[in-house]
Structure 1
Amino acid sequence: MYEPERTAFCCRAATADCRALYPVPQGTKRRGKSHPEYLLNIFYSLQIITVQRGHAMRHAVAPAENVENNYFAVTDLLKICTHCERLSKKDLGVRIPRPLGNGPSRFIPEKEILKVSKVDARTRSIFEDAFAALGRLDNISLVMGFHPQYLGSFLRTQHYLLQMDGPLSLHYRHYIGIMAAARHQCSYLVNLHVNDFLQVGGDPKWLNGLDGAPQKLQQLGELNKILAHRPWLLTKEHIERLLKAEEHSWSLAELIHAVVLLTHYHSLASFTFGCGITPEIHSNGGHTFRPPSVSQYCVCDIANGNGHANHHDDPLGNQVEVLMERMKQLQECRDDEEEASQEEMATRFEKEKTESMLVVAAEDEECVPSRDISRHFEDPSYGYKDFSRRGEHVPTFRVQDYSWEDHGFSLVNRLYPDVGQMLDEKFQMAYNLTYNTMATHKDVDTSMLRRAIWNYIHCMFGIRYDDYDYGEINQLLDRSFKIYIKTMVCSPEKTTKRMYESFWRQFQHSEKVHVNLLLMEARMQAELLYALRAITRYMT
C-alpha cells in the first residue's frame, strides 16, 4: 500500500472517531463546503503518523505542524470527508477506503450509538479522554458509551492491565490477550492486539503461531483453554505445573496478572460477539476499495442512519408488562411465604443447573476457526461442555466456601496491587447499574431481574449462592433469553443478530447492552473464582 493510501486510512479512521465525539447536528448538509465546527477544530489538532505496512493505523492528538511531502494537508483531509470519493480521486489520485459496516455494531443502528455522545456530556468527556490517551476510539468503547459510568470503570481497568506497572512485560500482556481472544475466534480482538503487540516491540515471529512463542507462554495454553471453556476442571495441579516449570516457570504475581488478562479477554469476546461489534475502517475486514452500490451514497451519511434497519417492536406487545407482573408476584411471595429450608434451596439449584444443560447454546453449525486465528492457541477441538454429563458428577462450587468478596479480592490485591479494587468496582458497577426503567416504564426496581441474570450465569458454571431461590430464574428468564445467555457466555462465536433480536424485543438497545455487560462481568467473575480457588489451594 502506498503512503498516501495509508494516510487515507488514518483520515477515515479519524473521521469516524471525530463523528462519535461530535455528531453531525440534524439539518447539516452532508456534502456542503463546511463540516461542523467541532470536527474542523479537532482535525486541525491531528497529526497523522506514518506506519509500516501491516502495523496499526494510529493517529495521535498533537499540535499541527508543517506536514511532510508524504502527508496530506488538513484541508485535503476534510475534502475526503466532505466531497467523498469523487473529489478525492480527482484531486489526490489515490484509492480511498470505504467502511464495510454501517457503524460500530451489526445489531444496533449507528445513529443510536452516536446520539449518546451528543446528549450525554459524561460520555463525550470519556470519549475525548480515551481518544487523547490512545489516539483512537474503538467500537467496543462506542457501544459501551450507552453506560458511561461503567465505561469509565472498564477503561481504567483495561488501561491498568495493559499499560501500567505490573508483573508482565507489555508485549506479553498483548500476546496473552491474543491467546485469550483466539480461543473464541474473536478476530476483532485478535487483530487489535496483534497491532498493539507489534507497537510495543513484540517479535513478529511469535505471530506465526503459538509454537513460535517462548515456552513460558506456550505452557499457558492449557490454562487458557480450560478457563475459556470448562473452568470447573481447573485444579491446583494445573497451577503447580506453571509455577514449577524450572527455567520457564511463572511467579505467583505473573500468574495472577495472566489469569486476569485471560478472563478479561474471554469475557470481552463474549461482549464483542453479543453486541455484533464490527472492525474499524483501518482494521482487517473493516474496509473495501469498491465504490458504494447506491449512487450518491456518501460514507458521511452513515452517521445519520443511512443503510440500517430500525429496531422493530415486539408483535406480542405485552412482553414487558408480563415480566413486570412476574417480578411483582415474586416480591409478594417473598413477603408472604416462609423462607425455604437449605435442603429445598439446594434442590432448586440442582434442578436449575440440570435444566441449564438442556438449553441448546446455538442451532447453527459448529464454527471452525480459521488458520489465522487457530495458530494462536492449541487444541482447536476443545470447547465448551456442560457442567456435568450423565454418569459424571462435579462438586458444586459454593460461594459460601470461596467468594470473590471474602477470598478472591484479597488474593488479587495482595499479588497485583490495586487490580482487585478495580475489578471489584467494575463487577459492582455492572451488577448495580440501573436507571429504574424497563422499556418505556419508569420507576421500576430491576434488582430482582439483574440478580436472576447474574446467578443464572454462575449456575451454568456450577456456582451456587446459598441464599438465593433458584426457582425465580424460570419465572423471569424465558427460553429465548436463556438460549442467548448460554450462547454468548459459553460459545459467543455462534451469537447471531437473530438471537440478539429474539429476546426482550420491546426493550431499548441500551438495555440489551446493559444485559451484555452483566453477562460479560458474571462470566469473568466465574472464571476468576475457579482460577483463584485453584491458586489458593496450591498455596495452602
Structure 2
Amino acid sequence: MKALASRGRLDSVSQHMASHPQYLESFLRTQHYILYMDGPLPLQYRHYIAIMAAARHHCRYLVSLHTAQFLRAGGERVWLQGLEAAPPRLRHLDHINKVLAHQPWLTSRSHIQALLKSGEQCWSLAELVQAVVLLAHCHSLCSFVFGCGADAEPLPMSMSVPPPLPPHRIPHGTPPAYCPCDAANGNTTVPLTPSVPLERTPRRRSLDSSYDVAFLRERIQKSQEEKERRGDRLLHSQTLLNTDMEEEEEMECSTDPSRFVSDPEFGYQEFARQDEDHLQVLRVQDYSWEDHGFSLVNRLYSDIGHLLDDRFRSVAALPSTHSPDLQRAIWNYIHWIYGIRYDDYNYGEVNQLLEKGLKLYIKAVACYPDATKTPLCTLHWAPFKPAEKVHVDLLVMEARLQAELLYALRAITQHMIA
C-alpha cells in the first residue's frame, strides 16, 4: 500500500516480493534512500549509473525503468544515445561496473585510485561509495528480476515493450562446460533425484554443477511449456496514476541496453579454476561485513550501513519450512562461487543439503542472469512453494549484493590505509 501510494503503481518486483512483506519494506526503504534521499550524487547521475549496472546483464526491465526516472530527474536525453555520449566522469565508472558485475574478486586498490586521482573528472570518496553501493544493488537486483521472471512480464502500460534481442547477441558469461571444483571434506557422489538422469560411470559430485548446462536448458524449456499449458500467469495489471504527459514520456524510454555496455565479451569466469592464491581469496575471518564493511560504508555514506544491514538480517529471518542449515548452505554456496570462504564452515553440507537442480538454478541466476532467461523462475521440479521460490531468489540477491560490497569495500580500505 505504501509503495502504491508513493509510486502510483505497484511494479512487478514489488509484486513478487510481497509474499515476504517484512523484507519488502526493508528493500524499498534501502532502494528509496539510495536513489532519492540525501547523498553526494545528483539524481540524474544515480539513475544513469543504475542504467549502466542493469545493462551489464542486459536487463531491459531495469534499463527502461531507470531511463524514465533519469529523464524525470532532468537528465540529458543525449546521454541515452550510449555510454560514449555520457560525461567522462560516468564513463570512468565503466570498468569497475564491469568487474563488479561479473568478476568482483578482481576489484583492486588500483581501480579505486584511478577514480579518485586528482583532476577535473575525479570522484570524491563519498561519491564513489554511493556509486559502488548503487552498482552492487542493481547488479544483484538483476538476478532477482530474471530469477522471478519480472523481465519477461509486460512492462507497465506507460512503457513500450522493447524490441526482441538481436539473434547474434552473446550473453555476458555463457555457462562453462565443466568446473572441476570438488566439495570439501571428501564429499562423494550423492544420490540424485529421479528427474536427474544417471550416468554410467559414477563420479564425484562437484560443489559446482555448471557441467550440466545442457540438462538445465532442457528443464528450462520444459518448465516454460508447462507454465504456458497451465496458463499460470502472474498479475500483469498495474494501477496507474500517471498523467498523460508522463505516459507519453515513458513511451520513448525503452532503450537497448547494449549501447551502455563496453567489452560485451567480458563475463563471469569460474573462480575455482583460477589461481586462488594469486586472486587472494576473501576470507570472512579477515574481512567481513559485520566487522569491517558495515562500519566503513556507514562512515562514508551516512546511514546506508544500517539500511543494508537490515536487509541482510531481514532475509535471514524470513520464515521458511526449510531448516536454517539450508539457508546458510545457499548463502555460503553463492559466496563460494564468488571466491569468499568461511573457514568455520563444512562445505560438504552444500552437496548434502542442496539438490542438484537447485544448485544449477542458484549459480545461473547469481552469475549470469542474462543468460538464464526467465523460465528458470518456475523451478517446478523442486519441492518449493511460490513463496519459498521467492525466498531462494532473495537469498541469491542478498548474498550476491554482500559479496560485491565486500570486494569493493576491501579495495577502498586498502586505498585508505596505503
TM-score by length of 2: 0.77
Question: 1:10-409 residue pairs with structure 2 within 5 A?
Answer: 128-277=1-150, 278=153, 279-285=155-161, 347-348=184-185, 355-357=206-208, 359-360=210-211, 362-363=213-214, 372-389=256-273, 393-409=278-294
Following superposition, the deviation at residue 358 of structure 1 comes to: 5.0
2:416 corresponds to which residue?
Answer: 539
Following superposition, the deviation at residue 371 of structure 1 comes to: 8.4
Following superposition, the deviation at residue 356 of structure 1 comes to: 4.2
1:4 corresponds to which residue?
Answer: none
Alignment deviations for residues 189-234 of structure 1 (CA, whole Å, 9 cap, x no partner)? 0000000000010000100001110100000000000000000111
Alignment partners' CA distance in 1, 2:379 and 2:306? 36
Following superposition, the deviation at residue 377 of structure 1 comes to: 2.2
Alignment partners' CA distance in 1, 2:342 and 2:186? 9
Gaps of 5+ in 1: 1-127, 288-345, 439-445
Q: Is the 8 A contact 1:362 1:494 kept in 2?
A: no
Question: 1:422-433 residue pairs with structure 2 within 5 A?
Answer: 422-433=307-318
Alignment deviations for residues 58-92 of structure 1 (CA, whole Å, 9 cap, x no partner)? xxxxxxxxxxxxxxxxxxxxxxxxxxxxxxxxxxx
Following superposition, the deviation at residue 449 of structure 1 comes to: 0.7
Question: 1:437-456 residue pairs with structure 2 within 5 A?
Answer: 437-438=321-322, 446-456=323-333
Alignment partners' CA distance in 2, 1:420 and 1:361? 38
Residue identity opposite 1:448 in structure 2: D
Q: Percent identity?
A: 55
Compared CA separation, residues 220 and 362, structure 1 to 2 (3 A): farther
Following superposition, the deviation at residue 382 of structure 1 comes to: 0.8
Q: Is the 8 A contact 1:157 1:422 kept in 2?
A: yes
Q: What is the Cα-based RMSD across aligned positions, in Å?
A: 2.5
Residue identity opposite 1:492 in structure 2: P
Q: Is the 8 A contact 1:349 1:464 kept in 2?
A: no
Residue identity opposite 2:262 in structure 1: E
Residue identity opposite 1:380 in structure 2: P
Compared CA separation, residues 221 and 497, structure 1 to 2 (3 A): closer
Alignment partners' CA distance in 2, 1:425 and 1:349? 36
Alignment partners' CA distance in 2, 1:236 and 1:355? 33
Question: What SS is found at the alignment partner of 2:378?
Answer: helix
State which drifts further: 226-235 or 355-364: 355-364
Alignment partners' CA distance in 2, 1:171 and 1:470? 43
Alignment partners' CA distance in 1, 2:56 and 2:73? 23
2:402 corresponds to which residue?
Answer: 525
Larger radius of gyration: 1
Alignment partners' CA distance in 1, 2:275 and 2:66? 42
Compared CA separation, residues 462 and 538, structure 1 to 2 (3 A): same
Residue identity opposite 1:490 in structure 2: C
1:458 corresponds to which residue?
Answer: 335
Alignment partners' CA distance in 1, 2:12 and 2:399? 22
Question: What SS is found at the alignment partner of 1:166?
Answer: coil
Compared CA separation, residues 497 and 251, structure 1 to 2 (3 A): closer
Alignment deviations for residues 151-187 of structure 1 (CA, whole Å, 9 cap, x no partner)? 0000000000011010100000000000000000000
1:322 corresponds to which residue?
Answer: none
Following superposition, the deviation at residue 280 of structure 1 comes to: 2.1
TM-score by length of 1: 0.60
Alignment partners' CA distance in 2, 1:245 and 1:136? 43
Alignment partners' CA distance in 2, 1:182 and 1:485? 21
Gaps of 5+ in 2: 164-182, 189-204, 219-253
Q: Is the 8 A contact 1:356 1:460 kept in 2?
A: no
Alignment partners' CA distance in 2, 1:427 and 1:276? 23
Residue identity opposite 1:382 in structure 2: F
Question: What SS is found at the alignment partner of 1:526?
Answer: helix
